[in-house]
C-alpha cells in the first residue's frame, strides 16, 4: 500500500513538472479542422486555375487576367485558410485548457509560440522573396519546409508527437521541390491530409476519454 502511495506521489510530481514545462492543451481537433480548411483552399485554387489535379503542366497564370490577379488570388485564398485555422485552433485549444483547469497563455504556451514564430516568420520573408523573383512554383515546397522546421522546433515544449509531423512535412517539402509543377498537390497533402491524420491520431490518443 505504501509503495503504491509513493508511486502515485511520484506520478503526480512528474505530471506537475510536465505541465509547467510543456504546453499540453493543444487539441487534436485543431489539426483536423486546419486540414479540412487547407483542402478546401487547395480545391478552390485548382478550380480557379482550371488545372487538372495530377497534371505536371500546371500553369499558374492559366485562367487569370494578369500576374497581379494571381498574387491577389493566392494571398486571399491562403489568408482565409489561415484565419479559419487559427480561429478554430484557438477555440478548441482554449476549450481543452479550460477542461484541464490550465491557463491558455502562460510560460509554456509562450515558449511554443516563440519556437513556432521564428521559423515561420523567416519562411514568410523567404517566400516573399520567391514571389518577388516570380519563383511561384517553389513557394509550396518552401512553406512545407519552414513549417516542418517550426513544428520540429516547437516540439520541445509540447507533445513530442508534433516532432514526427514536422519531420514528415520537411521530407514532403524536399520531395515537392523536385516536382514543383505539382506543388499545390503537395501543399494539399502536407497542410491538408497530414493535418487531418495527425489531428485525429492526437484526439484518439489524448482526448478521446
pLDDT tens per residue, range 78-131 = 899 999 999 998 899 888 888 877 777 787 888 888 999 999 999 999 998 988
**Structural domain spans, the chain:** 27-207
Taking alpha carbons only, the member of 22, 34, 17, 202 closest to residue 110 is 22
Question: Can you tell me the mean pLDDT for 20-42?
Answer: 85
What the block records as the C-alpha cell of 175 is 520531395
CA torsion sign for 158, 153, 29, 90 is positive
**Mean of pLDDT over the chain:** 81
DSSP conformational letter for 56: S
- Cell numbers 497542410 correspond to 191
- Cell numbers 487534436 correspond to 28
pLDDT tens per residue, range 32-83 = 999 999 999 999 988 887 755 445 545 555 544 556 677 788 888 889 999 9
Question: Can you tell me the mean pLDDT for 158-164?
Answer: 89
Collapsing DSSP states into helix, strand and coil, what is residue 57?
coil
Amino acid at each position: 500500500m505504501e509503495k503504491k502511495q509513493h508511486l502515485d506521489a511520484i506520478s503526480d510530481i512528474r505530471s506537475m513538472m510536465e505541465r509547467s514545462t510543456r504546453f499540453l492543451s493543444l487539441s487534436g481537433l485543431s489539426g483536423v479542422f486546419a486540414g479540412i480548411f487547407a483542402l478546401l483552399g487547395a480545391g478552390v485554387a485548382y478550380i480557379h486555375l482550371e488545372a487538372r489535379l495530377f497534371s505536371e503542366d500546371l500553369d499558374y497564370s492559366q485562367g487569370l487576367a494578369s500576374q497581379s490577379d494571381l498574387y491577389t488570388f493566392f494571398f486571399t485564398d491562403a489568408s482565409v485558410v489561415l484565419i479559419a485555422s487559427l480561429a478554430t485552433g484557438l477555440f478548441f485549444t482554449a476549450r481543452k485548457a479550460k477542461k484541464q483547469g490550465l491557463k491558455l497563455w502562460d510560460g509554456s504556451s509562450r515558449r511554443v509560440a516563440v519556437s513556432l514564430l521564428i521559423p515561420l516568420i523567416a519562411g514568410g520573408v523567404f517566400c516573399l522573396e520567391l514571389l518577388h523573383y516570380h519563383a511561384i512554383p517553389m513557394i509550396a515546397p518552401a512553406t512545407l519546409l519552414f513549417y516542418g522546421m517550426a513544428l520540429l522546433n516547437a516540439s520541445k515544449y509540447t507533445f513530442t508527437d508534433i516532432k514526427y509531423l514536422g519531420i514528415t512535412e520537411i521530407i514532403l517539402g524536399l520531395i515537392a521541390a523536385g516536382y514543383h509543377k505539382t506543388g499545390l498537390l503537395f501543399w494539399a497533402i502536407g497542410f491538408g491530409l497530414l493535418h487531418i491524420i495527425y489531428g485525429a491520431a492526437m484526439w484518439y490518443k489524448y482526448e478521446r476519454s
